[in-house]
């Protein structure tokens, strides 16, 4: 396990940098229930970091802590070497952390193109007045950002549906549009909550390929939650394993696969 | 063409113009409802308040003069100046934006995530509060609003259409004020649609209307959008208040125009901007035409209830309205 903090190069030649996000002693409670119990882990620049664990392990809660939807009672969140104060989700998004949702949260009434354009909002700086005048800065900005979005549309191979209202798309394509919207923000950290949930084998393969390509081409740091162990093992550089709100394993896929506690959690043993 | 038929056409034209005004009021409801799920009962009072403020500013009235005089024993009522209409409209718009910000910051920001009925109750409270404030600020006497919009029947239209009919037809009677109101409303609605479709804030507004969580995740501040939609609703209220006020004087019954918007919303659906427009036009034309054709048979005054009966029929047979999102229950 490479936890010395020094940059290194993976076997397939990708550059892994310093720590980007550092979660320190995070505890999250809902009333009397502890969803996350004192968990620490880090995410390093350029890596694909997976979070796995049985249902109710606290994975999604952890992702919500990172993206500002939940606020932990204890612990610190460090981002790019600075302690992050409690923030609202939109402020976290403006820091350069984009995410997708387990149950897909797209704007159903808007076209694919408009959906992806909303991903660019954090990069668009013109104010209300300039937008109302439209000619000049606002129009220039729209054109520039539109170009970025078109590149992403090409990249994710969704050219054919760009004008379609998202509500009419099949599930697999919706997942892809959601990824496109998150990518449009050119995030420093991309959070994917079960990007392959409910997909068939072919769609899973497509999505895996896109995730690897994104990481490879743009060097985007990715943290993802996934149930499918095979997918996780193929995709990720390091894996955090959670069970009942605790961290029970952390390391390369190979290491966690041979961890007895992880095997117990997945195959099921009596908790005493 | 027979005079009968031509008078029918005139009724339809007048109905369309009334409909545009209904649509304008309904639009204020739709804007806020779409973005925040709040059914804003205070929309009519906002129109009243905007009209009162406009008249007050134009006439150089001292706001809260009653309180000031009672407290300090002074006798001030007027600053002694008058403000040109355009400047006064701009100032009123500023007042409405400040009002939007205050409504959000002091009330609805603290009610996020509450049941719709609670939000609705809050807007009822807001309506009475605003009515009281309007009274305190500008007094309760009926005011005339004259911002220079021409009034009275348009001779031009009358002369132009005179030759259409025979001896007993004298041309269409169309109020100039209605023509102006229609043009202004069309420009405003077109402007709002362009704003929502093509600008960055408009896109963010539509995003918030669609899905709050997703909007947050792309970095949209819900607070900003909510202040924005309340401001836009305030602007719509101002235009509606000016048009209705110019037509029938600025008085407290002006706030009742909100009730006229309800059937429009039943028809058009609470979430659809085109729905508000088409709904308004249907109600406008429907009630005028009904009064013209059926009214004499039942003793007239059908305009008072026609819209509500139509809305009732829609509630029974098409509860989501003409354009509202379909209600599908998955089992």
pLDDT in tens, A120-135: 999 988 888 888 888 8
Q: What is the pLDDT of residue A17?
A: 87
DSSP states along chain A: ---S---EE-TTSPEE-SEEEEEEEEEEEETTEEEEEEEEEEEETT-EEEEE-STTSSHHHHHHHHTTSS--SEEEEEETTEEPPP--HHHHHHHTEEE--TT----TTSBHHHHHHHTTGGG----HHHHHH-TTHHHHHHHHHHHHHHHHHHHTT-GGGTTSBGGGS-HHHHHHHHHHHHHHT--SEEEEESTTTT--HHHHHHHHHHHHHHHHHH--EEEEE-S-HHHHHHH-SEEEEEETTEEEEEE-HHHHHT-HHHHHHHH-----
pLDDT of residue B4: 81
Q: What is the pLDDT of residue A271?
A: 57
| Contact A110/B at CB under 8 A | yes
What local confidence, expressed as pLDDT, does residue B328 receive? 64
At A2, is the pLDDT very low, low, confident or very high (cuts 50, 70, 90)? very low
Torsion of CA A25, A29, A34, A39, to 10 degrees: -20
Predicted local confidence at residue B3, as pLDDT: 77
Tell which wins on pLDDT, B259 or A236.
A236
**A41 and A151, same structural domain?**
no
Q: A42 pLDDT band (50/70/90 cuts)?
A: very high
Is A144 at the interface with chain B, CB within 8 A? no
Whether A35 and A152 map to the same domain: the answer is no
Residues A4, A86 share a domain: yes
Interface of A with B in 23-82 (CB under 8 A): 67, 69
A160 Cβ neighbours under 8 A, 6+ residues apart: none
Query: Is residue B210 helix, strand or coil?
Result: helix
Show which residues on chain B lie within 8 Å of chain A, measured between beta carbons.
195, 198-204, 206-207, 209-211, 213-222, 228
State how far residue A135 is from chain B, nearest Cα, in angstroms. Answer: 11
Same domain, A178 and A216: no
Q: Considering only CB atoms, which chain B residues are within 8 Å of A118?
A: 203-204, 207, 215, 218, 220
Q: How far A134 CA lies from chain B's nearest CA (Å)?
A: 8
Q: CA B278, CA B211: separation in Å to the nearest integer?
A: 26
Number of compact structural domains in chain A:
2
pLDDT, mean over chain A: 90
Tell me the shortest Cα–Cα distance from A90 to chain B, in angstroms: 4
CA distance A147 to A159: 13
Q: What is the pLDDT of residue A269?
A: 66
Packed helices B222-248 and B176-198: angle between N→C axes, nearest 10 degrees: 170
Pick from A133, A158, A185: which residue ends a domain? A185
Two tokens, residue B186: 């069309």
Note whether A67 contacts B200, CB cutoff 8 Å.
no
Alpha carbon distance A106, A104 (integer Å) = 6
Which of B197, B201, B214, B228 is the mutation pick for testing A, counting most A CBs within 10 A? B214
**Mean pLDDT, residues A89-106 taken together:** 94
> CA triplet B187, B185, B48: central angle to 5 degrees?
135
Compute how many other C-beta atoms are within 10 angstroms of the C-beta atom of residue A138: 21
Report whether A213 contacts A248 (CB < 8 A).
no
Over residues B166-179, the pLDDT tens digits come to: 777 777 888 888 88
Kindly state whether residues A141 and A165 are assigned to the same domain.
yes
**What would the two tokens of residue B157 be?**
């239209």
How far is Cα A1 from Cα A42, in angstroms, rounded to an integer?
13
ipTM of this predicted structure: 0.88
Task: Choose the final residue of a domain: A150, A185, A220.
Answer: A185
For B175, the 3-state DSSP assignment is: strand
Q: Which of A90, A138, A141 sits opposite B219 (nearest CB)?
A: A90
Place of tokens 């925040």: B36
Q: Does residue A100 register a pLDDT over 60?
A: yes
Residue A221 shares a structural domain with residue A202:
yes
Do the domain assignments include residue A261? yes
**pLDDT tens by residue, B50-62:** 999 999 999 988 8
pLDDT at residue A232 in the model: 86
pLDDT single digits (tens) A47-96: 999 999 888 889 999 999 999 999 999 999 999 999 999 999 999 999 99
CB–CB contact A134 B198 (8 Å): yes
Examine the fold and report which residue of A146, A161, A185 is the final residue of a domain before the chain moves on. Answer: A185
* Interchain proximity A101–B215, CB inside 8 Å: no
Residue B47 is predicted with a pLDDT of 93
Contact B217 A142 (CB under 8 A): no
All structural domains of chain B with their residue ranges: 3-317
pLDDT value of residue A215 = 93
Pairwise CA distance, residues A52 & A41, whole Å: 13
Q: Nearest-CA distance from A221 to chain B in Å?
A: 17
Indicate yes or no: CB of A114 within 8 angstroms of CB of B206.
Answer: yes
Task: State the pLDDT at residue A1.
Answer: 43
How do strand A19-30 and strand A74-79 relate by DSSP bridges? antiparallel
**Residues lower than pLDDT 70 in chain B:** 1, 324-331
Q: Are residues A176 and A207 in the same domain?
A: no
Q: Which residue on chain A is closest to B223 by alpha carbon?
A: A90
Q: How far is A83 from chain B (nearest CA, A)?
A: 20
Compute CA distances B238 → B49, B88, B96, B244, B254, whole Å: 8, 11, 8, 10, 12
A219 and A188 in contact (C-beta within 8 Å)? no
Whether residues A13 and A121 fall in one domain:
no
Q: Which residue of B has its CA nearest to A105?
A: B214
pLDDT tens digit sequence for A135-184 = 888 889 999 999 999 999 999 999 999 999 999 999 999 999 999 999 99
Instruction: Name the residue among A96, A4, A23 with its Cα closest to residue A63.
Output: A23
Nearest to B104, CA basis, from B202, B214, B244, B232: B232
The sign of the CA dihedral B1, B3, B8, B13 is positive
Q: How far is B101 from chain A (nearest CA, A)?
A: 16
List b or e across A152-185, with b for residues whose CB sees 16 or more CB atoms inside 10 angstroms.
bbeebebeebbeeebeebeebbbbbbbbbbbbbb
State whether A137 and A91 are in the same domain. Answer: no
Q: Is residue A198 part of a domain?
A: yes
DSSP SS3 for B250 = strand
pTM over 0.90: no
Q: Answer yes or no: do A61 and A40 share one domain.
A: yes
Considering the domain architecture, whether residues A176 and A201 belong to the same structural domain is answered as no
CA separation for the pair B16, B35 (Å, rounded): 28
Largest pairwise CA distance in chain B: 69
Give residue-wise pLDDT tens across range A191-229: 999 999 888 889 999 999 999 999 998 899 999 998 877
Q: Which residues pair with B316 in a beta bridge?
A: none
Q: Both tokens of residue A266?
A: 């997945």
- CATH number of domain containing A2: 3.40.50.300
What order of strands is seen across the sheet that includes strand A19-30? A33-44, A19-30, A74-79, A82-83
Domain that holds residue A74: 1-96+187-272
Tell me, what's the pLDDT at B235?
Answer: 94
- Distance from the Cα of residue B229 to its chain's centroid: 14
Residue range B3-317, CATH number: 1.10.3470
Mean of pLDDT values over A186-193? 96
pLDDT reported for residue B295: 87
Q: How would you class B187 by CB atoms within 10 Å of its CB: exposed for 0-12, middle for 13-18, buried for 19 or more? A: exposed
Q: Which residues of A touch B216 (CB under 8 A)?
A: 69, 88-90, 93
Say which residue the tokens 């609805």 belong to: B108
The predicted pLDDT at position B326 comes to 64
Residues A257 and A142 in one domain: no
Query: What's the confidence (pLDDT) of residue A56?
Result: 85
């Amino acid at each position: 396990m490479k936890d010395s903090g020094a940059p290194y190069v993976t076997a397939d030649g990708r550059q892994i940098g310093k720590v980007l996000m550092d979660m320190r002693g995070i505890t999250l409670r809902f009333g009397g229930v502890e969803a996350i119990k004192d968990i620490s882990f880090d995410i390093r620049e350029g890596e694909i970091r997976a979070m796995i664990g049985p249902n109710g392990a606290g994975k999604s809660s952890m992702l919500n802590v990172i993206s500002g939807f939940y606020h932990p009672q204890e612990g610190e969140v460090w981002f790019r070497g600075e302690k992050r104060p409690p923030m609202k989700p939109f402020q976290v998004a403006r820091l350069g952390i984009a995410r997708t949702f387990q149950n897909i949260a797209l704007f159903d009434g808007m076209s694919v193109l408009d959906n992806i354009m909303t991903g660019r909002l954090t990069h668009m700086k013109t104010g209300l007045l300039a937008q109302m005048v439209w000619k000049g800065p606002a129009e220039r900005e729209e054109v520039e950002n539109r170009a970025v979005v078109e590149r992403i549309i090409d990249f994710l191979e969704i050219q054919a549906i760009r004008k379609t209202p998202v509500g009419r798309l099949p599930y697999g394509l919706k997942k892809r549009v959601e990824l496109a919207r998150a990518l449009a923000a050119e995030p420093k950290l991309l959070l994917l909550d079960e990007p392959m949930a409910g997909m068939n084998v072919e769609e899973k393969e497509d999505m895996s390929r896109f995730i690897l390509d994104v990481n490879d081409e743009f060097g985007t740091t990715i943290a993802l939650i996934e149930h499918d162990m095979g997918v996780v093992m193929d995709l990720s550089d390091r894996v955090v394993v959670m069970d009942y709100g605790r961290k029970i394993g952390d390391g390369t896929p190979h290491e966690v696969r041979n961890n007895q506690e992880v095997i117990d959690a997945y195959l099921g043993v009596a908790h005493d | 063409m027979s005079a009968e038929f031509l008078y029918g056409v005139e009724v339809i034209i007048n109905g369309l113009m009334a409909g545009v005004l209904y649509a304008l009021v309904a639009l204020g409801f739709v804007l806020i409802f779409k973005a925040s799920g709040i059914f804003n009962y205070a929309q009519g009072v906002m129109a009243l308040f905007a009209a009162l403020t406009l008249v007050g500013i134009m006439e150089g009235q001292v706001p809260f003069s009653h309180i000031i005089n009672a407290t300090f024993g002074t006798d001030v009522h007027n600053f002694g100046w008058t403000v040109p209409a355009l400047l006064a409209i701009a100032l009123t718009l500023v007042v409405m934006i400040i009002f939007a910000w205050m409504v959000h910051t002091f009330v609805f920001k603290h009610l996020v995530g509450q049941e719709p009925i609670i939000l609705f109750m809050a807007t009822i409270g807001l309506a009475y509060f605003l009515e009281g404030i309007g009274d305190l600020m500008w007094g309760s006497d009926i005011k005339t609003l004259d911002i220079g919009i021409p009034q009275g029947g348009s001779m031009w239209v009358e002369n132009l259409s005179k030759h259409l009919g025979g001896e007993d037809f004298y041309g269409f009677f169309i109020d100039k004020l209605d023509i102006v109101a229609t043009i202004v409303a069309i420009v405003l609605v077109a402007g709002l649609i362009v704003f929502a479709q093509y600008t960055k804030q408009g896109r963010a507004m539509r995003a918030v209307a669609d899905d709050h969580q997703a909007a947050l995740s792309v970095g949209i501040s819900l607070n900003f959008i909510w202040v924005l939609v309340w401001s836009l609703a305030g602007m719509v209220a101002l235009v509606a208040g000016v048009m209705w006020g110019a037509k029938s004087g600025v008085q407290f019954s002006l706030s009742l125009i909100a009730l006229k918007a309800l059937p429009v919303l039943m028809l058009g659906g609470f979430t659809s901007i085109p729905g508000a427009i088409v709904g308004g036009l249907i109600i406008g034309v429907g009630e005028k035409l009904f009064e013209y054709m059926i009214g004499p048979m039942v003793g007239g005054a059908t305009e008072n209830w026609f819209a509500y009966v139509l809305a009732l029929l829609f509630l029974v047979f098409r509860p989501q309205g003409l354009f509202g999102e379909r209600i599908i229950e998955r089992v």
